[in-house]
Structure 1
Amino acid sequence: MMPNFTKYLLIIISFLLIHDNIQAQVEAKQSSIKGKVLDEDKVLLPYLLVNLHLAKDSTLVESAQTDESGIFLFSKIPFGTYYTEIELIGYEKNISCAFTLDTGRLNINLGEVFLKTIIKQLNTVDIKAKKPPIESRDGKLIINVSASPLAAGSTAMEILSRVPGVALDNVGNVSLRGKPSVSIMIDGKLTHLSPVQLANLLRTTSGNTIQTIEIISNPSAKYDATGTGGIVNIILKKNTSFGTNGTLTFGGGIGKYYKSDAGIILNHRSRAFNVFGNYNYANNKQYENLFLMRSTKATNDITLFDQIAKGVSSRKNNSYKAGIDYFINDNNTIGFITNGYVNNYDGTNKLNTIIGSQPGKIDSTVIGQNSFIGQYKSQSYNLNYKSVLDTAGQELNVDLDFSQVRNTENAYYNNDFYDAVGLSFRLPFIFRNITPSKIKILTGKLDYVLPLANKMKVEAGIKSSDVNTDNDFRSEQRVGETWVNNESQSNRFFYKENVNAAYVNLHKDFNSTSLQIGLRTELTHTEGKSITLQEKVVRNYIDFFPSLSINQTLSKNKVISISYSRRIDWPDYQSLNPFVYYVDLYTLSQGNPAIKPQYANSFEINYNHKKMNISFGYIKTKDVITTTLLTDTVKKTILLYEQNLAYRRTFSATISRPITLTGWWTTNNNVTLYNSCFASPELMGMPFKSEKTTLELSTIHTFKFSSTVNAELSANYTSSQVYGTYIAKPIYGLDLGVNKSFASERANIKLGINDLFDQRQIKIKSAIPAQDYQLNQKQESRIFRITFTYHFGSNTIKANRDRSNSSTSEQSRVKSGG
């Protein structure tokens, strides 16, 4: 039914657009109103809303947005007397003098419009307006991280776990309002990762470098089609006209173990060049305790397992970025960026496995002394060319990218066996896994923007990517003093992928309505080949991904929007490798080369009334990729296995509301209620269905004690929820932070306490009746942090260009380490 509905809707909308365009061409008179918006320091203000009102009764006639050069344009406006109104948080409202459009004055140029910073005098203290913690605009929920003292010293993963509507499970799965498979972007660069890879990447991203986090539920066709649950875009800080400046950051923290981090950002801008770079280092040692209770049943034989694991890990992360932009002229820029990371990881894990045939009875015990060491390296290069073809906003962007990743992971397992009375009854079982991998990614993309008459705009683009991976998994068992290759557990796996994509977006503004309709198509060829098993899986197919967004302004303070998109999620490269990886002697994971991509149709309605936002969503995902836990009743093991379930369906409702309690106390509050259902006609030999309704509560309180001191308290609660084949119990926590600035706001000290009462822990149990397991995982979460930041140099430096490269979607499916 959905394809027919979409087809007819596209026909109707296309007819309306064509009819409107024809009408416009026959109208004889053309009129326009334009201007350029800047702040008092003459810094351009792009992407800012400008409202046009009738002077006689202040009726809102139309709204326009400034482009990259701060220019706004109203065209084909009826004759009459008008004024413009511009509002921006932190600036005084700007209302222009009245002006008249008539036959003698068809085109009006308001020239440069300046916005002044708000400065209120209160007991001789200057108070400048600051951005609120959470905003909702342009179909996005925006979290202003840089203003929060809780961000200092934290990692992106810790910050993301506190974002309203966002949840992370025990291995790093991100869900948005109950919708899993969320794509993570950094500066517009997609990071669609496996759970472990995503967790590693977020741990390497320092919270000191984050400016904002954007939540995009239904992205347009311009974005890569991957990410069925939506997109979370992490925007990093950038310097802002000419000269040199930078930022130094030093921080430390303590939980059970000490942590440290440091970073530097540098930027130099001249008339023709912009040179920029940054480096960040983090040393994080932490503990993790895990308790797993499970049972296996074979005929009348029941075996009970109680596992207690205590682990300590250390991550030393180094990330860097350097680039240069050359401004050929006012309209053409060419730039080059290189970035990468070198992340080192090591850890130890002591695991006690108590085995018995009934509760309280010990038949045997296995004590594992396991150690892990890994290094993750990446280097990528991006060449970008941008051309502004005319003053109307016609643009061309070209990106070429090459990336190379090398990962090495070594795991050593030493298992000792004891009987019921604690005596050794067999020789230790010692083995190791060595898993080097190499990945090369070559991509190119072209994006084009064409403004048309009648407030229409067309965006179009093409992209091609080529990916090659080589995973060489080697398992060796120690016999005496010699390591012997275990051929049955070793495997070499090659994967090739080529995707060619094209998209078109059509945007049209009516008087109080805006419409965007888009279509993306992807032609895909993949090959997965196991050299050891002599198995090969080849796939070729073409996919279409439509998107639609309608925004209707009901009044000055009321806006309603409706959006739809079809999206896809690919399995990450390592999940396609059929090798068996040991978590411990009785817990294994295995890739699945036959796993298929999942497809989702997503709908959302948003209603904004003044500061309150209400949204309703529905998403259904076909062939949903799910990590299932399969029990081997013979070997008594449990296997983590990626496979496709038939579907996932989620209904959601969200209410967000900021409240000002006093002049110094403001709050942002978010309530989300969603119902998720996973189902498959067959799983472990029987039909499977798991459904649960979940409540998420989030509140952020900001206290402004003076112009230089503020504090923040954040609390969140998530009730029990379902993730595929397991159910997670409620999780909650409280965070507190204080911020003090001095030296004319160039220096800053932030104190933060994450998980003040040490309550955050993950508890899950099986959603499959035939399985019996319960897992409790407690990571080090109560951490006290102090961070010092100092800004030096000019305060008015033009930021390096914010651009994403063409290989971000492909790089995101690579294990980043950390």
Structure 2
Amino acid sequence: MKTLNFRAIAILFFLFTIQHTAVSQTQANLEKNIVTGKVVEKSSSEPVAYASLTLIEVATAESVSGAVADFNGEFVFSAVKEGKYFIQISFMGFRDFISDEFEINESQPSMQFDAIYLEPEDLALEEVTVMGQRDLIEEKVDRTIYNAENDNTIVGGDASDVMRRVPMLSVDMDGNVSMRGSTNILVLIDGKQSAIVASNISDALKQIPAEEIKAIEVITSPSAKYDAEGTGGVINIVTKKNNIQGASLNINTTVGWRASNLGLNASLKKGKMGFTLGGFGRAGYNILGSFDNQQLVTNMDGSTLNILQSADTRTNQMFGRYNFGWDYEINDFNFMTAGVSFGLRNRNTYQDGLLTETFMGELLQSAVLRDVETSNLSNNIDINYNYTKTYEKKGKELSISSLYSLNNLTNDFINNVYTGTFEDIASRVKNNNLGKNEEFTIQLDYVTPIGSGEGTLLEYGAKNIMRKAESDFAYLTAQGADGEFEQVDDITLSNEFSYDQNVTAGYFTFMRNFLKDYTFKGGLRYEYTNIQADFRNAELDTDIPSYGLFVPSMNLSRKLENGNMIKAAYNRRVQRPFLNFLNPNINAANPQQISQGNPLLDPELTDNYEMSYSTYIGNSSINFTSYLRNTTGSIQPVRTVLDDDIIFTTFENIGRERAYGLSIFSNINLSNRFNLSGSIDGYFAQLDNGLEDPLFAASNSGFVLSGRARASYLLGNDWQLEAFGFARGRQVQLQGSAGGLAIYNLNLNKQFAEKRGSIGFGIENFLMREFTMRNELVTPTIVQQSTVGIQNMSFKINFNYRIGRLSTDSKKKTRGVTNDDIKDSGADNSMN
């Protein structure tokens, strides 16, 4: 207890010292080159606390600093350089104020404003200001941006809920993300990727609250600056930045029938130093469903068995993400940031009464009853440090970024097998699978304009990723309900596996505007990968050769009249196998369908060709994009029949994939009150595993369609009604298909307290009690049809409130680590 108290006192002393230093530096700057004043309400002369102020330079019309009025309405701009300026003030419920021009020079080193009076908005002005809506979708030269901060339907959700609204993306009911039908994508968070994202994208997305997301950037043709991973492209989740002045505490919570969450986020910015502290937790419960499976298996002797399975399912889950951030502006050209974040993801899934019946013809051969419990648990910690140096020359920048990430995983299951009378437990089977993903990354980026004019940019850099994955797995058996577990003495079932990967890369990109309306961006990246794999308890073949790859990229765009744009792009992408594909642990939670990874997999290569056209009609935007994706060495599952009629799945580099696609999306402003947006995505897929043996050869083709629509209507008095729907049809796979799905919701939101708070009511999937997905597998020896049902009808109440107000400060753009790699199988329970 004494040690704990001493540590607490030491921490408090350290924080006090930092705060005191920051305050002392701020006060030193107030001696000269300052602008001060007070903001008050015109009708009552009462101070307007937390009003946002922006200092704008007259010559460039650009913001050079931001401030926020304190509780007494007083504000200070410090360290103002000599020049001519004016101040812009804004606060909800008041008209914007723009001051007269003033000058800071040697003879007038400071400026003191008398009371600045803000006038309340009248009704006419309020209607114009409140009813106007910014576009949800923006089309940039190299990416499509979905402005999530303008979408109130996502309140109470997570990042996977936001991605369901983004054009070109599809998200299934488990949160697995695909871009134009490909799940081989890179997901970044503020330009960075941590070990938890590399381990399992779908679970990582559940840790990010929707309210913290500013935008989703979809980059279908990444430049050489990005790692070569991700054949489908890059998704960057941009969170709400904390480059602000002042103090703020934001509280958001949701209470629902199947899930609830609570989030707290605090920010403090004084002068050159800033701190952020935040946390978000989400609990899921009452997630009920069903499982049905039928598989016809042909044995080597030609006999056919019909296996039927059914069970009731339930899921409980807990997700959380907590972070502490620090930033410091050393001077006008040097900026540092550092942060540490901790996340957890606990998910327990139960199959109650899993009944397996085996028939030969109409004759029942056997019937086995099981209860299955699967535990998928993980926690992760990320520590990052970034340093950015800018120069007087606009656009020139040097950055050094580093990231250490550690993810601990537990992926276990227990099968309780009942006696023939289905009354008592006869035996139990347990699989312990403890894993660890660890990585350290450092990278250097340099950007410089070429020549004196704008429009020509050269960027180059280097990067090294050291990644280590470990899996300690074992099978244990026990007799009866109370018998002790004993480990199975079989190196294929109980072993330790390590996988070390080192990727060293260098790149350069060149961008130039030419012929007035054209922009070219091209680049080349080289990556060298070294891999070492080892089984500790066996001399198995794990010799994996090193390899080097050149990855080119080219992007060309032309601006047309009225803001229209046409783009063409080509790039080559590389997809290293995700750990789910590599882990040799045998997953037999369902003993009729077992799977095992292959640590000898090679990367797959994809050539992407794309052309798009964007146009505007009035206040509405429309985008058409066509593409071709050709993949060689594709990682595909290989399924065979083992003894006892078990379907065994592993993975090989035997596939060829080709997809021809077209996507159309639009954002339509029908009026100041009514906004409608939607998209349709479709592609024709061709898959072939390249084998000639008729027992294993497989090919498939077909169309895959998906679409989404969103409508928003402002009712007045700060009430808003919003609806959203998403549907995806049957998805073509090499040996069958995955079922379609549909998700929809309706939300009503009310803002109050000058829009510092909001309360909302939402209902999801209210037209059906249970939604089902039907999957199909067809091979020369296997015909399987499975149905997964989930009761996802839900009602929720959202509450959000902000204490304090922050204003944006014009900080330097910081770069971060972007580990753009590894193919994700989308499996929820096959990680280390």
> Does the 8 Å CA contact 1:244/1:797 hold for their aligned counterparts?
no
Residue range with higher mean Cα deviation, 190-199 or 338-347: 190-199
Q: What is the root-mean-square deviation of aligned Cα atoms in Å?
A: 3.2
The answer on 1:230 being equivalent to 2:233 is yes
| Aligned: 1:738 with 2:740 | no
Q: Cα–Cα, structure 1 residues 356 and 404, in superposed 2: closer, same or farther, change >3 Å?
A: closer
Residue aligning to 2:149: 146
| Kept in 1: contact 2:410–2:433 (CA 8 A) | yes
Shift of 1:739: 1.8
Q: Distance in 2 between matches of 1:567 and 1:796?
A: 40
Do structure 1's residue 36 and structure 2's residue 60 form an aligned pair?
yes
The one-letter code of the counterpart of 2:289 is E
Q: Which residue pairs with 2:405 in the alignment?
A: 403
Structure 2 residue 496 is matched with structure 1 residue 485: no
Map 1:180-219; keep pairs closer than 5 Å.
Answer: 180-190=183-193, 197-219=200-222
- Separation in structure 1 between the aligned mates of residue 594 and residue 510 of structure 2, nearest angstrom: 49
Alignment deviations for residues 467-521 of structure 1 (CA, whole Å, 9 cap, x no partner): 1222110111114633221132112101111110011010101211111001111
- Alignment partners' CA distance in 1, 2:308 and 2:122: 63
TM-score (structure 1 length as normaliser): 0.81
CA contact (8 A) 1:134 1:143 kept: yes
Matches within 5 A, 1:269-280: 269-280=269-280
How much does 1:179 deviate?
Answer: 2.8
Give the match for residue 444 of structure 1: 442
Alignment of 1:534 with 2:539, yes or no, is yes
SS in 2 for 1:592: coil
* Correspondence for 1:790: 801
Provide the rounded CA distance (Å) in 1 between the counterparts of 2:707 and 2:181.
13
Distance 1:384 1:40 in 2: 22
CA apart distance, 1:385:
0.7
- Is contact 1:170-1:762 (8 Å) kept? no
Aligned length: 709
- TM alignment of 1:16-165, pairs within 5 A: 36-38=60-62, 122=124, 125=127, 127-128=129-130, 129-165=132-168
Q: Is residue 164–residue 726 contact of structure 2 (8 Å, CA) maintained in 1?
A: no
Counterpart Cα distance in 1 of 2:707 and 2:539? 51
Question: Structure 2 unaligned runs (5+)?
Answer: 1-57, 69-94, 96-120
How far off its partner does 1:800 sit? 8.2
Please give the secondary structure, in 2, of the residue aligned with 1:519.
Answer: strand
CA distance in 2: counterparts of 1:734 and 1:311, whole angstroms: 23
**For 1:298-697, what aligned pairs fall within 5 Å after superposition?**
298=299, 299-358=301-360, 361-418=363-420, 428-453=426-451, 454=453, 455-479=455-479, 481-488=483-490, 489-510=493-514, 511-535=516-540, 536-610=542-616, 611-628=621-638, 630-682=639-691, 685-697=695-707
Cα shift at 1:532: 2.7
Deviation for aligned residue 1:811: 9.6
Q: What residue number does 2:8 align with?
A: none
Change (3 A) 1:684 1:485: farther
C-alpha deviation, 1:798, in angstroms = 3.5
Deviations 1:405-457 (A, max 9, x none): 22223321111253xxx578x98231111111223211110010011125311
Amino acid in structure 1 at the alignment position of 2:555? S
Q: Using a 3 Å threshold, how does the CA distance of structure 1 residues 607 and 583 change in structure 2: closer, same or farther?
A: same
For residue 154 of structure 1, give the secondary structure of its aligned residue in structure 2.
coil
| Distance change (3 Å), C-alpha of 1:388 and 1:798 | same
Name the structure 2 match of 1:264.
264
Residue 81 of structure 1: aligned partner: none
Equivalents in 2 of 1:802, 1:724: separation in Å?
A: 44
Query: For residues 660-684 of structure 1, what are the alpha-carbon distances to aligned partners after superposition, in whole Å with 9 as ceiling and x for unaligned?
Result: 3344222112122210111122177
1:812 Cα deviation from its structure 2 partner: 9.5
Displacement of 1:602 in angstroms is 0.4
Cα displacement (A) at 1:230: 1.1
SS in structure 1 at match of 2:584: coil
> Cα 1:661–1:390, aligned 2, differ >3 Å: closer, same or farther?
closer
Q: Identity rate of aligned residues, in percent?
A: 21
In 2, are the aligned partners of 1:133 and 1:144 still within 8 Å (CA)? yes
1:776 to 787, 793, 805: 787
Q: Does 1:757 align with 2:758?
A: no
User: What whole-Å deviation, never above 9, does each CA across 1:531-577 have from its counterpart, x for those lacking one?
Assistant: 23322222211101111111111223321110111111111234312
The worse-fitting range, judged by mean Cα deviation, of 598-607 and 146-155 is 146-155
Conservation of the 8 A alpha-carbon contact between 1:269 and 1:798: no
Partners of 1:807 and 1:486 in 2: how far apart?
41
Structure 1 pair 123–144 and aligned structure 2 pair: CA distance change class (3 A): closer
Question: In 2, distance between residues paired with 1:249 and 1:802?
Answer: 28
Does structure 2 conserve the Cα–Cα contact (< 8 Å) formed by 1:374 and 1:410? yes
SS at match of 2:156: coil
How far does residue 169 in structure 1 lie from its aligned partner after superposition? 4.4
- The partner residue of 1:766 within 773, 777, 780 is 777
Q: Work out whether residues 143 and 163 of structure 1, in 8 Å CA contact, stay in contact via their aligned partners in 2.
A: yes
Partner Cα distance (2:66, 2:589) in 1:
58
Partners in 1 of 2:353 and 2:164 — Cα distance?
A: 28
Structure 1 134/316 Cα, relative in aligned 2: closer, same or farther at 3 Å? same
Q: SS of the counterpart of 2:689? A: strand
The AA in structure 1 aligned to 2:497 is F
Q: What is the deviation of 1:639?
A: 2.4
Aligned-partner residue type, residue 402 of structure 2: L
CA deviations 1:312-336 (Å, max 9, x no partner) are 2221222111121111101101221
Which secondary structure does the structure 2 equivalent of 1:36 belong to? coil
Structure 1 equivalent of residue 54 of structure 2: none
Query: For the Cα contact (< 8 Å) 2:506–2:526, is it kept in 1?
Result: yes
Question: SS in structure 2 opposite 1:158?
Answer: helix
Deviations 1:191-232 (A, max 9, x none): 798998222212222222222222211111111111101122
Mean alpha-carbon deviation: is it higher for 321-330 or for 169-178? 169-178
Structure 2 CA distance for partners of 1:168 and 1:123, relative to 1, 3 Å: closer
Return closer, same or farther for 1:695/1:538 CA change in 2, 3 Å cut-off: closer
Distance in 1 between the 2:538 and 2:812 partners? 48
1:697 Cα deviation (Å)?
2.3
How far apart, in 2, do the equivalents of 1:582 and 1:380 lie? 32
| Residue 804 of structure 1, CA deviation | 5.7
Whichever residue aligns with residue 185 of structure 1, its letter is L
Shift in Å, 1:756: 2.8
Matched letter for residue 556 of structure 1: N
CA distance in 2, matches of 1:551, 1:168: 29
Does the 8 Å contact 2:696/2:779 carry over to 1? no
Query: For residues 327-360 of structure 1, what are the alpha-carbon distances to aligned partners after superposition, in whole Å with 9 as ceiling and x for unaligned?
Result: 1101101221111213333332224333232576
Q: TM-score, normalised to structure 2's length?
A: 0.79
Kept in 1: contact 2:137–2:147 (CA 8 A): yes
